[in-house]
Amino acid sequence: MRPGRAPWPAGPGDPRAATTDEAAITVGRLSMAMRSSSDLDVPYELTVVVPRVEITERYVNGRLAEVTSSYSSVTIARSPRFEGRRDSR
């Protein structure tokens, strides 16, 4: 642990937080959210991926009778950014 740092992770809005990320997505009836904070000096990437969503509504006599939803791997991810390989030559 570095000097001056708390042994627990910094929360959102905490002045110790070097990185704070937040993402939220709503597609049809699906809602996903992620919030994270870190006091590490490592840069992070936040990725939201929605490759395919299909929502079908079937009506009978002008009234909604059925809703079918198909979600293909909806993802929210946070990971350290890859800085590349450092040559030690």
Nearest to 37 by CA among 6, 64, 62: 6
Quote the number of domains for the chain: 1
Residue 33 lies in a domain: yes
**Contact assessment for residue 81 and residue 43, using Cβ atoms and an 8 Å cutoff:** yes
- The reported pTM is 0.57
Rounded-to-integer distance, Cα 41 and Cα 39, Å = 6
Domain membership of residue 52 (yes or no) is: yes
Note down the domain range covering 75: 19-80
Provide the residue count of the chain: 89
- On whether residue 9 sits in a domain, the answer given is no
Q: Give the tens place of pLDDT for each residue, 34-80.
A: 888 877 777 788 888 988 999 999 999 999 999 999 988 888 888 88
pLDDT score of 86: 66
Domain-located, residue 3:
no
Q: Is the pLDDT of residue 15 over 70?
A: no
Can you give the pLDDT at residue 21? 83
**Is the residue at 28 inside a domain?**
yes
**Interatomic CA distance for residues 31 and 48, integer angstroms:** 13
Within-domain flag for 4: no
What's the pLDDT band for 88 if we cut at 50, 70, 90? low
